[in-house]
Amino acid sequence: MKEYFVYWVKHEIYFRYFYKSDILYRFFLSSQVEDTVYVQEQLDYITYDFSPGASIQQALYQDDSVHIETDQHYLRVVCDSLTTAEETVFSELRHFDSSFFIIEPAANNCGWIAPIIKNDLQSRVHLLYSSF
């Protein structure tokens, strides 16, 4: 069985750390082992909560081949393959938001659910125009 942890990263952190995924990967792995107040505050600062009954959880499809557990800071997805996870969970999350960070601890694998769209980055750049 494959096990994935999905973190919903706040947009500011998403844009700042998109190309530094190894830093987030190491932090999220260590946060699962180290449960201190300091680590919890950091998780609160960089992630959105998966509150019980939230609309995102209601949108996720579960069947016999997919099991989803909810924690305050992450979703734990257990399924038989990456294809199953993609078809049932990840595709729905991609439609909801693009700032989900997924780790697969058993394979030392991580990544974002969707790439940064170049136009979105360009829209964040403030331009000054002159009337001269």
Q: What total of structural domains would you count in the chain?
A: 1
Residue at 73: amino acid letter: H
For the ranges 40-49, 101-110, 119-128, the lowest mean pLDDT is seen at 119-128
Residue 85, domain member (yes or no): yes
Q: What is the pTM of this model?
A: 0.81
In a domain, 89, yes or no: yes
**Residue 52: band (very low, low, confident or very high) from pLDDT cuts 50, 70, 90:** low
Provide the H-helix boundaries in 1-132: 11-17, 21-33, 37-46, 55-59, 82-85, 91-96, 118-123
Check which CATH number belongs to the domain holding 102 and give it. Answer: 3.30.310.250
Task: Determine the structural domain holding residue 73 and report its residue range.
Answer: 2-127
Reply yes or no on whether the pLDDT at 53 is more than 80. no
Is 132 domain-assigned?
no
Backbone CA torsion sign across 50, 55, 113, 125:
negative
pLDDT at residue 123, rounded to an integer = 53
Is residue 22 predicted with pLDDT exceeding 50? yes
What phi and psi values does residue 86 have, to the nearest 5 degrees?
-65, -45
